[in-house]
Structure formats: C-alpha cells, structure tokens
C-alpha cells in the first residue's frame, strides 16, 4: 500500500487561514500525476504552527478529497505522548490509512523513552505506523536497534521515514529489521541511494511540484532500471538543492507561488525568503524548464 513517491504535501494558507479548497485541488493534482500517497501535516505541511483543530481538519480534507483513491499517511506525531495518541486516534477514526510519527522533539528522551513513546502510540490504534527519524529537527536519533525492537514488538509499526542522511544507518535498519519493514528516504537527494540499499520509496518535498518525475524515479528503481533512475536523479538534483537554500517549506511554497499552484503564504516564525534566494530559486526553476 505504501511505496514509491509519497508527497509531504504543503498546507496552503489564504489570509492566515487554511485554504481547504486549494488543499483539495492539490490532492487531486497528485492523484492525477502518479503520487503513491499523501502525507498531510508533516514538516512541509507546517504542522508545528497548525492549531489542534486545524491539524485535524487538514487531515480530514485530504481524506475527503482522496475519496479512498490514494492512501493518506497522516502526520500525527508530537513531543507529548498523550497528544500524539489523541491526534492519531482522530486520524484513524477519520479514515486515514496510516500515521507518521515524528521523534519527540525538544524533550530529548533516551532510547527507552523513545521506545515507550512509540509503543504507546502504536497500541492506541490499529492503523499502521511509520516512524519519522529526523535528528536535525528533533535533537534525537532513533537508533537502529530501537527501530528493530519496535518493529519486533509492535505489529503495526511497519516502517520508517529515515531522514538521518546516513546510508550507514539506513543499511543497519535494513539488516536488523524484518524483510517486510518499509524504509523511505526522508531526503529527496537520497531517494536513489536509499532505494539501492533496500528502501521502498521517498516521502518527498520536490514531488509537490514534480510528482510525475519523482514517481518515475521510484518506479525505475523498483524495476531495477538504474540508468533511467540516474537520469531522473541528476536532472532533479539542482532543483532539489534549491528547495533547501532556506528552511523547508519556505522554498517549495515560494516555488509553488511562482508557478501559480497555491499561495506562498507561510506562518511565523517562518518568514518570506530573501530576494537574493528567490532569484536563486527562480534560476533553478528556469534551468529545469518550469519557468521561462
């Protein structure tokens, strides 16, 4: 059910409110362009600045718009175990197909605390759980041994979005976990190498504007067509790099605004990109062929 190019979809805003109509249109855009699954309320969806009601509503809008045509992987993690359980139960009841659980941030729990946190969330619902390992934003790495322990003890913890940037760690997870444990790249630039060492796809930022190309890269790797995958990878790479010249999701939202896909509105403490970096972003879009 979960494989290939899964988009970490942006949350479009209009006059400081969630633009539900536009969000539904973006879901439709992805369904038509080969995206494998939708992730609302991830990092790219600005989940830290959504109110609890907005968070729940964004997930509901994606479920309603998808109408069971594409899986919805709801971002329902938190640094509060009780809040993560509450959000995950809501997503399950609303019809989400699975949940993405980010490493609890700021608290800096030890590995045992991480294990107990994810185990408690997994036991609160029946839907599948994907762990989200991103130490750069959370100050804690979920060690491969902890991931393997969770995979063994919790039947519905079925995979991980690995955003450590370490292929050594990805390889260790592949070695320690069951063969059917799913590993997704958490970095567009590492989709190809992650799949080469046993990953099954990517939870993508660049797919917000290039869903077909990202899906095609994953499909080529799945088929063992390395040459095609490499061609797509190297064409995408300069634009992928441009999407991180400032903190995600500022560049991808700015790009979507430039391309007329949705408003580029961000919520504080994220601020608009500098003029210099907007020019760099436009150059990357132009060089790719998305902008004249």
Q: Which residues are catalytic?
A: 132, 161
DSSP assignment of the chain equals ---EEEEE----EETTEE-HHHHHHHHHHHHHTT--EEE-SSTTTTGGGS-HHHHHHHHHHHHHHHTTSS-BEEE---SSHHHHHHHHHHHHHHT-SEEEEEPPPSS---HHHHHHHHHHHHHT-SS-EEEEE-HHHHS----HHHHHHHHHH-TTEEEEEE-S--HHHHHHHHHHS-TT-EEEESSGGGHHHHHHTT--EEEESGGGT-HHHHHHHHHHHHHT-HHHHHHHHHHHHHHHHHTTSSSTTHHHHHHHHHTTSS-----TTS-PPPHHHHHHHHHHHHHHTS--
């Amino acid at each position: 059910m979960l494989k290939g190019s899964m988009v970490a979809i942006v949350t479009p805003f209009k006059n400081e409110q969630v633009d539900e109509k536009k969000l539904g249109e973006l879901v439709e855009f992805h369904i038509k362009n080969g995206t494998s699954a939708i992730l609302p309320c991830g990092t790219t969806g600005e989940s830290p600045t959504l109110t609890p009601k907005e968070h729940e509503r964004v997930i509901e809008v994606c479920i309603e718009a998808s109408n069971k045509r594409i899986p919805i992987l709801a971002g329902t993690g938190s640094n509060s175990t009780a809040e993560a359980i509450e959000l995950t139960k809501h997503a399950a009841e609303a019809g989400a197909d699975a949940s993405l659980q980010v490493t609890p941030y700021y608290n800096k729990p030890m590995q045992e605390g991480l294990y107990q946190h994810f185990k408690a969330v997994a036991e609160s619902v029946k839907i599948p759980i994907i762990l989200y390992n991103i130490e750069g934003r959370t100050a804690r790495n979920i060690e491969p041994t902890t991931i393997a322990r969770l995979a063994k003890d919790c039947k519905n913890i079925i995979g991980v979005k690995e955003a450590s940037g370490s292929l050594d760690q990805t390889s260790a997870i592949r070695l320690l976990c069951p063969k059917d444990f799913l590993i997704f790249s958490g970095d567009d630039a590492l989709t190809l190498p992650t799949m080469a060492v046993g990953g099954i796809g990517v939870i993508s930022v660049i797919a917000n504007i290039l869903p077909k190309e990202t899906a095609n890269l994953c499909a080529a790797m799945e088929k063992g067509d390395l040459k095609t995958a490499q061609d797509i990878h190297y064409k995408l790479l300069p634009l992928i790099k441009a999407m991180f010249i400032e903190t995600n999701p500022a560049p991808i939202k700015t790009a979507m605004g430039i391309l007329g896909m949705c408003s580029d509105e961000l919520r504080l403490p994220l601020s608009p990109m500098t003029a210099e970096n907007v020019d760099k972003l436009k150059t990357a879009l132009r060089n790719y062929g998305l902008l004249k």
